[in-house]
Every structure is written in structure tokens, then in C-alpha cells.
Homo-oligomer: A and B are copies of this chain.
Amino acid sequence: MRTLVPFDATNPKTRLAPVLSPGERAAFARRMLQDVLSAVRAAGGEPAVLATESVECSAPVTVDKRSLDDVVNDRLGAAEGPTAIVMADLALATADSLAALFGTDGDVVLAPGRGGGTNAIVSRHPAFRVDYHDTSITDHRAIAAEIDARLREVDSYRLGTDVDDPQDLAEVLLHANGEAAEWLRAAGFDLAIEDGRVGVTR
């Protein structure tokens, strides 16, 4: 399946600023992107990166500085056939979790992310458009209803875990085995327990 992977190449992962320098955030974000591209391919998808500026990676890159919604919706409007949109910070994504997404019937298939996000989508309906602001999962449900699209949601912890905050780095160390996890370990990150909750230490 044709799979759009939007990527902020300009100032990625700002919420990780408390634990990573700007250069480190850029490096780590690229490792996550690479993991996502590998998983998409292993699941039978054909990834295409939509980036805010040029980035070196293993998939074709289109540079487009407009807003995420504009960039993705242009592609959805021009798409012939099913199109997936998968966020570039799903460091826990695997071939299996993405194959389950791609293989789920429905005009619109959503993978919810923590905090009301929509971490991955399959659209098989020509009128479906994205709206990633705020609580996007409720917006996407509403958009699917408006166009009478048959909606399905996939239940995946791996697709539901996007890496935004320092605490999310623990999820990468606990559940991922790709380049991002390797980069974190090489940078000296390890799991740490504080107040009975797991986080990371460096």
C-alpha cells in the first residue's frame, strides 16, 4: 500500500528538548523515521516521505513546507486507490502491527494514538481528508461519518505509542529493537524507576 510518512525535518521532537540537544533530536528523529520506513516496507507498504526540508533516508522524499494537513490532503485528493498515512515517530511500529493496519477492511481505518492523536490511517474513500489539530481522533471519526465512510479502528499498542515526551523514550527501550532504540542505548539512555513509574536516565 502506498504509505505517506510526514516528517518534520526542521525542528523535530521539540518536547524532547529537556533530554536531547537539537542535534541529538534531529539524529534520533531520523533513526525513528528509518525504523518506520523499514517496518512499512516489511509490511508490504511503499513508503513516501513528505518532509519540511530535505532529509536523507531510504525512501523517496518530497519537500513541502506547508502545514501537515495541507500536504497530506493534497496527496489524498490526488490519490488513486488506498493510501496510508503513518507518523514518523512510531518507533515501536513493526511489520505485524502495520500489516494489521493495512489489512483491516474499511473505507477509513484509524490507529488511535495516546492523548487523542491519530497515529496511522488508511483511506480507501476519495473524500476523506485529515485534520491533525488537537484531538484528531474525534475529528477523523467525525469526518468519516460526514462522508458516510465505513470506519474501523485498529487496536495496537505499538501504533498507539508515538514518541513525543522524555517518558516515551522508556517505551522505545522497553519495546523496540530498531535503530532508534540502538541510538538511545548508544547515547547512554537506560530505564530508571522513579516513584514506581518507569522513565529514563542518562
Query: Which residues of B have CB within 8 Å of A158?
Result: 155
- Assess whether B116 is in contact with A170, with CB atoms less than 8 Å apart: yes
Given the complex of chains A and B, what is the CA–CA distance between A158 and B112 in angstroms? 10
Q: Which of the residues B112, B134, B155, B174 comes within 8 Å of A96, measured between beta carbons?
A: B155
How many A residues have CB within 8 A of the partner chain? 30
Query: Which residues of B have CB within 8 Å of A134?
Result: 193, 196, 198
- Assess whether A135 is in contact with B96, with CB atoms less than 8 Å apart: no
Q: Counting chain B CB atoms within 10 Å of each CB, which of A193, A196, A198 scores highest? A: A198
A112-B156 in contact given A191-B135, A193-B135, A198-B135 (Cβ < 8 Å): no
Closest to A164 in B: B197
Distance in Å from the Cβ of A165 to the closest Cβ of chain B?
A: 9
- Assess whether A97 is in contact with B155, with CB atoms less than 8 Å apart: yes
Residues 124 to 142 of chain A near chain B (Cβ within 8 Å): 134-135, 137-138
Q: Contact mask A100-129 → B, CB, 8 Å, 1/0?
A: 100000000001101110000000000000
Query: Which residues of B have CB within 8 Å of A170?
Result: 115-116
Query: Which residues of B have CB within 8 Å of A171?
Result: 114-115
- Judge whether A150 is part of the interface by a CB distance below 8 angstroms: no
Distance in Å from the Cβ of A159 to the closest Cβ of chain B?
A: 8
Query: Which residues of B have CB within 8 Å of A160?
Result: 157, 160
Residues 58 to 107 of chain A near chain B (Cβ within 8 Å): 94, 96-97, 100
A112-B155 in contact given A134-B198, A160-B160 (Cβ < 8 Å): no
Distance in Å from the Cβ of A85 to the closest Cβ of chain B?
A: 18
Query: Which residues of B have CB within 8 Å of A96?
Result: 155
Give 18 CB contacts A-B under 8 Å. Answer: A94-B155, A96-B155, A97-B155, A100-B155, A114-B114, A115-B167, A115-B171, A115-B197, A116-B170, A116-B174, A116-B191, A134-B193, A134-B196, A155-B157, A155-B158, A156-B156, A157-B160, A160-B160
